[in-house]
Structure 1
Amino acid sequence: MRRLLAFAALVLTAATPASTGPAVVRPGARFTFPREHGAHPEFRTEWWYVTGRLATPDKRDLGFQITFFRTTPATDPANPSAFAPKQILFAHAALSDPRVGHLLHGERAARAGFGLAQARIGDTDVSLRDWRIRRLPDGRFVTRVTTADFALSLTLTPRQPPLLEGEDGYSRKGPRPEQASYYYSVPHLSVSGRLARNGQVQPVTGQAWLDREWSSDYLGGGAVGWGWAGLNLDDGGALMAFRIRGAGGRQIWAGGSLRRRDGRVVRFTPADVRFDPIRQWRSPRTGALYPVAQRLSVRLPEGVRRLDLLPLFADQELDARRSGMPVYWEGAVRTRGGSGYLELTGYAAPLKM
């Protein structure tokens, strides 16, 4: 297994920008940490994406999502105006509670600058008004969000080194080489903190998964959305799988990885990954029909492994239309031998990125 010190010794070979427009993701990049935890504004789209499970003192099982997005709009970079939106940041936070039966969520959005929003280069420190995620000098991540229905203040402690997805961090998303992202995950984060809800504050503990991706051409080739799963396995392993979906449900690309408990990594090709619906749920708000329970099959050297991904409950749709943001299904799931999150995009409407 690669150790944290080995990762720290690596040096990033930055992707070179195209003659016009944002930088292009290319194979052969090398990563250095903590720099990769920070922002990469030369690329069009980027996110810091945390999903996890929480337990309360009374043994309630909850799911949570905290995601910060950064995007570079198509504006003239030579525009000297301080009001020109050179970077836009937005964020989602959600809480999944089976006793509530639907997703509790909130959103934020602002252009970078003016003390409202920023994404630091060099290490994780992203803030959007009163929401923030940052990395401490000791390597822990801390985040806080406040919505109308809940507030979370969490510390995320890495127990494993980053997992470079794809080919050493170069993750294909389509048939053309530039249809790709730079991508790494930090699974098995230990979580502690506080949850405030209904006028009460209680301690919570749990386990989480951090995804970091940046790209300038994430969805190409007629893609309308994707399915993604990130699973912390009970034996200490970690499994990520995704499927890029075109019109009519056709598969454009797929991939992922399994890091075994001993640190060995198996990389998946498009032919190695399959998502099959087990149960569907139709949203009463958007009319979208989501395959909220799925059988994930991945081909391993020892044979095909099948995992039934079963949602904590069906209605985990994040409907952010009132804030001018996308609609997608983001749900806590259980499976035999692990738990994690399933994400389904492009079902209410084709996703544009």
Structure 2
Amino acid sequence: MIGRRPALARLAAAALSTGGMSARAAAGLAPETLSAAPLRFPRDHGAHPETRVEWWYVTGVLRAASGSAGSRPDFGFQLTFFRVRHDLARPLASAFAPGQLMLAHAAISDLGRQRLLHDQRLLRHGFANARAEREDTQLRLGDWRLRRSDGPGGFSRYALLMHSEAAGFALELTLDAPQAPLLQGRAGWSRKGPGEQQASRYVSEPQLDGTGRLVLREGGTRDVRARAWLDHEWSNQYLGRGADASPDRAVGWDWLGLNLDDGSSMTLFRMRAGDGSVVWSGGSWRAPPGAPGGQVDFEQQLHFEPLAVWKSPVSLASYPVRWRIRTPRGVILVEAAFAAQEIDTRQSTGFPYWEGVARVADEAGRALGWGYLEMTGYAGRVPL
């Protein structure tokens, strides 16, 4: 008898894949069009189940609550919720039909011990323990939760809870945004390739500040202070369509969300083709709260130069773990806090990827801040 979890994992991989024929394509209908309507909040903090894929992604660094804000972090964390629409060839009028799936990844990077603790989950959407509400960010997958409300100044406040008995950690945080949501690209329309519809709706909440508690099975309980970043994206053709060799087809991406020590923030990404060439690049810089400068967008203005690589003993993929990146705001150096931060999620989304804490410096080596680096497609094409 086939176990429930492996069967759902294969179903998730099929839903994430763009290689198969969707119900729309089978019926001869045109591909879905991503809406360019102006974003409205709090509604657009919520789910968009009409789109093929959506995620809410929270990353950050943790320091002892008694430590100074400028000290080296002790830990990093990630909690990502995915909602995936699965087009059934024959729609079923049943709550048990897997038309929408929810997946989640959670991880703790222990910088002192240079170890990564991680877990993953996968359930059908629609029951009490697997929900992504439309009205606002209210996400639940088992006992993993992310909820948004209005906090100080009317800006976002997020409550986060993730617990893994298997991986030996629990984290509970309250995170406050210092500014209104950052709309990436053109008012939240973020190009991911040369095609106009090769895009996502993309909202970020950088420089989240908060407190909470971290519990480690091998490490005890501690009160922590967090500096974090939230991304919310939804799309129908994030990596483009067609064969891998087509000019608009990406197999993965390199992405950075950087909270800089001066209160500014920087988003940097590039979409990579199978031969390593760049399909598209983009990102933004945002001034600190109350400072002049506003927001500067970086579409097709970035150059990523890998300086060092690490080879995973699990996937055998080679990941760049040190970078020089040229941006309109100057050249920065990005280096992983430690190399072994690959996350093996073959039992949920179906592919390993690298996700971890990174420090940022200028060309002279002066510290600028901390953030998260994500690299996908090095262990095979992302089935997204």
TM-score (norm 1): 0.89
- Deviation digits for residues 162-193 of structure 1, max 9, x if unmatched? 11101111000011101000001110100211
How many matched pairs?
A: 331
Work out which of the residue numbers 18, 39, 44 in structure 2 matches 1:36. Answer: 44
Give the residue type in structure 1 aligned to 2:157.
R
2:320 is the counterpart of 1:291: yes
Separation in 1, partners of 2:139, 2:201: 19
Q: Residue 265 of structure 1 aligns with which residue?
A: 295
Q: Give the aligned partner of residue 205 of structure 2.
A: 186
8 A Cα contact 1:77 1:86, kept in partner: no
Task: Judge conservation of contact 1:26–1:170 (CA < 8 Å) in 2.
Answer: no
Letter matched to residue 115 of structure 2: H
**Matched residue type, 2:193:** G
C-alpha distance after superposition, 1:294-348 (max 9, x if no partner):
1121124xxxx11111111000000122446321000111112121011000001
In 1, Cα distance between the equivalents of 2:297 and 2:33? 23
Q: Please identify, of 18-27 and 204-213, the stretch whose mean Cα deviation from structure 2 is larger.
A: 18-27
Q: Give the 3-state SS of the residue equivalent to 1:90 in structure 2.
A: strand
| CA displacement at 1:81 relative to structure 2 | 2.3
Of 136, 139, 152, the residue aligned with 1:123 is 136
Query: What's the offset of the Cα at 1:131?
Result: 0.8
- Aligned-partner Cα distance in 2 for 1:322–1:135: 28
Aligned-residue offset at 1:278: 1.2
1:75 to 88, 101, 118: 88
The aligned residue for residue 230 of structure 1 is 257
Offset at residue 89 of structure 1 (A): 0.4
Contact residue 22 and residue 43 of structure 1 kept, 8 A: no
Shift of residue 22 of structure 1?
A: 7.0
Q: Indicate which of 232, 235, 241 corresponds to 1:215.
A: 235
Structure 1 counterpart SS, 2:225: strand
Kept in 1, the 8 Å contact 2:103–2:349? The answer is no
What is aligned with 1:3? Answer: none
Is 1:84 aligned to residue 97 of structure 2?
yes
Query: Given that residues 65 and 211 in structure 2 are in contact (C-alpha distance below 8 angstroms), is that contact kept between their aligned partners in structure 1?
Result: no
3-state SS of 2:275 partner: helix
Q: Secondary structure at the match of 1:249?
A: coil
Corresponding residue number in structure 1 for 2:343: 318
Q: Deviations over 1:76-127 (max 9, x none)?
A: 5742122211210000011111233231101111001232301000101010
Whole-angstrom distance in 1 between the partners of 2:195 and 2:128: 39
Deviation (angstroms), 1:260? 2.1
More off after superposition, 67-76 vs 130-139: 130-139
Shift of the 22–161 alpha-carbon distance from structure 1 to 2, 3 Å rule, reads farther
In structure 1, the residue matched to 2:195 is 176
1:315 aligned partner, one-letter code: A
Q: Is the 8 A contact 1:170 1:182 kept in 2?
A: yes
For the Cα contact (< 8 Å) 2:107–2:119, is it kept in 1? yes
| 2:369 equivalent among 317, 338, 347 | 338
Cα distance between partner residues in 2 of 1:22 and 1:169: 21
Is the contact made by 2:273 and 2:279 (CA closer than 8 Å) also made in structure 1? yes
Matches within 5 A, 1:240-255: 240-255=267-282
* CA distance 1:21–1:97, shift in 2 (3 Å): farther
2:76 and 2:111 in contact (8 A); partners too: no
- Structure 1 residue 258: deviation in Å? 0.7
**1:143 maps to amino acid:** L
Match of 2:60 among 52, 77, 102: 52
Which one-letter code corresponds to 2:163 in the other structure? T
Amino acid paired to 2:312: S
State the alpha-carbon separation in 1 of the partners of residues 112 and 263 from structure 2. Answer: 29
SS of the counterpart of 2:172? strand
Equivalent-residue separation in structure 1 for 2:350 and 2:78 (angstroms): 16
Corresponding letter in the other structure for 2:197:
E
From 319, 322, 333, the counterpart of 1:308: 333
The amino acid across from 1:176 in the alignment is G
The residue identity in structure 2 corresponding to 1:134 is: R
For the residues of structure 1 that align with 2:65 and 2:175, how far apart are their CA atoms? 19
Letter in 2 for 1:211: D
- After superposition, the Cα gap between the structure-2 partners of 1:274 and 1:143, relative to the gap in structure 1 and judged at 3 Å, is same
